[in-house]
Each structure stands twice: as C-alpha cells, then as structure tokens.
Amino acid sequence: MRKPVFLACLWLAAFSAAPAFAQEVKLASNVPFTEDNEISDAIKAECSLGTKLADSIKRNGPSVVLVDAADTAQGRVLQLEIVDSVNMGNAFMGRQTYTKIKGSLWQDGAKVASFKARRNSMGGAFAGFKGACSVLGRTVDKLGEDVGGWLKAPKDGAALGD
C-alpha cells in the first residue's frame, strides 16, 4: 500500500516542479529606443532607461537572461523597444511623465505574442525634489513589473500598465 502512495507523491513532485525549469528568456541588456522616436536627447543620454528597464524585467520575470544582442531565430527571446518617454512640467504646476514600450516574445523565430505598455508617474513623495530621470526611472521600473508578469502568461495583443 505504501508503494503506490510513494509513487503518486513522486509523480506529483516531478510535475509540480516543472515550472522551476522554465526555458530562459533572452533580453537585450540595454533596451533600444524605436528608430523614429521623438524622445529628447537629454533623456536618452542621461537617464539610462534601456538598462533600467532590462534590469527590472530580469528581477520580475521568470528565467530572464540579459544578453548583448538577442537573435530571435534561436531560443526564447523577448524583443523590446522604448517607444516614447516624456517629462514635462514640474511637481508644483503639474507634471506629465510617462514611458511607453512595445514588445514581442519569440520562440525559435516564430512570434508567440506581443504587447504594448505605458506607465505614468507624478513623481511620488517629494516629487518637487526629484529630477526627470528619477521619475522616469519609476515608470520603467513599473513597466518591468508589468512585463515580468506578462512573461508568466503571455497574451497576444495585451495592453499593460496604466
């Protein structure tokens, strides 16, 4: 009687542990800006949004591995672009700060699913004392959480964020 119970427990342990061995997702360590973007040169040069976004996705996504360049023809690859990033106004008169991204998940050259995402921020506590990069950093950190969650159950055409 003990042998079937042992085998059932062994079988259950083997299949419940399967997600722990999920296939790694490759992501460029510095997410690029779209080619035809209108993002200010100051934001692009000073804020390191591409690396902050990649780091946030790595922290929040399942089995994400940062690479110099990811080839969509081999393995599981998350291809991302920063579409727009804006910081206008100030904390006292009103601030409009947001970052928009788009991405797609590829498996061995075939597109699995894609998404678009946007996050807004007013700057949080003491926003009047924060710089543009700090507030924009908050937006990409949240986007990283959104994308990390999406990677756990990718849905094509998803709209993430705010």
Between 2.60.40, 3.20.20, 3.40.50, 2.120.10, what CATH number should domain 23-161 receive? 3.40.50
The one-letter code for the residue type at 54 is: A
Is the pLDDT confidence value at 132 over 50?
yes
pLDDT at position 18 is 39
Distance CA 64, CA 77 (A): 9
Main-chain phi, psi angles of 138, to 5 degrees: -65, -40
Report the chain's terminal Cα–Cα distance, integer Å. 55
What are the structural domain ranges in the chain? 23-161
pTM, rounded to two decimals: 0.80
What are the tens digits of pLDDT across the range 44-70? 999 999 999 999 999 999 999 999 886
Is the pLDDT confidence value at 31 over 90?
yes
pLDDT at position 112 is 96
Distance CA 32, CA 12 (A): 43
Distance CA 122, CA 95 (A): 6
